[in-house]
């Protein structure tokens, strides 16, 4: 009987994790058309569901229809993810694109910031 209860508990935990998870490979960010963007600061966010969820909120500063800065307002990721965000921001500004490779070991944070920037610019 005890084995049955332990097995049932393990199955339940597995189901909870599988239902809450998202395939990171399916999350892609697309660069919005910047031709109509006025000089301003745009706020956007993104949440990647999971255990725990990853929350990202950013302010994107646009001047002359180019991204000149990205300021992270909220990031619920790991310390490794927080370090990777700086790298992602530098790449976005340099390339003026959201078609950026994720930082190894910080894929969730990488995807979250790219989607947050996309949402800010929509």
CATH of domain 24-121: 3.90.1010.20
10-residue mean pLDDT profile of the chain (122 residues): values are 49 44 88 96 95 92 98 94 95 98 94 98 97
Are the beta carbons of 115 and 29 closer than 8 angstroms? yes
Number of Cα atoms under 13 Å in the Cβ half of residue 25: 0
Quick one: which H or E segment has residue 6? helix 2-20
**pLDDT of amino acid 11:** 42
**pLDDT of amino acid 104:** 93
Strand-pairing partners, residue 61, are 41, 69
Q: Which residue has the tokens 């920037």?
A: 117
Longest alpha-carbon distance in the chain: 69
CA–CA dist 55, 45 (Å, integer): 7
- pTM, entire model: 0.83
pLDDT digits (tens, 9 = 90+) for 10-39: 444 443 444 446 788 999 999 999 999 999
């Amino acid at each position: 009987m005890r084995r049955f209860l332990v097995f049932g508990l393990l199955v339940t935990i597995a189901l909870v994790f599988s239902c809450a998870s998202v395939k990171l490979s399916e999350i892609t960010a697309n660069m919005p058309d910047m031709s109509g963007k006025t000089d301003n600061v745009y706020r956007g966010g993104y949440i990647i569901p999971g255990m725990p969820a990853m929350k990202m909120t950013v302010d994107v500063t646009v001047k002359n229809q180019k991204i000149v800065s990205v300021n992270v307002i909220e990031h619920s990721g790991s310390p490794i993810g927080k370090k990777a965000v700086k790298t992602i921001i530098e790449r976005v500004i340099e390339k003026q694109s959201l078609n950026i490779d994720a930082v190894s070991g910080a894929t969730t944070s990488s995807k979250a910031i790219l989607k947050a920037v996309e949402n800010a610019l929509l």
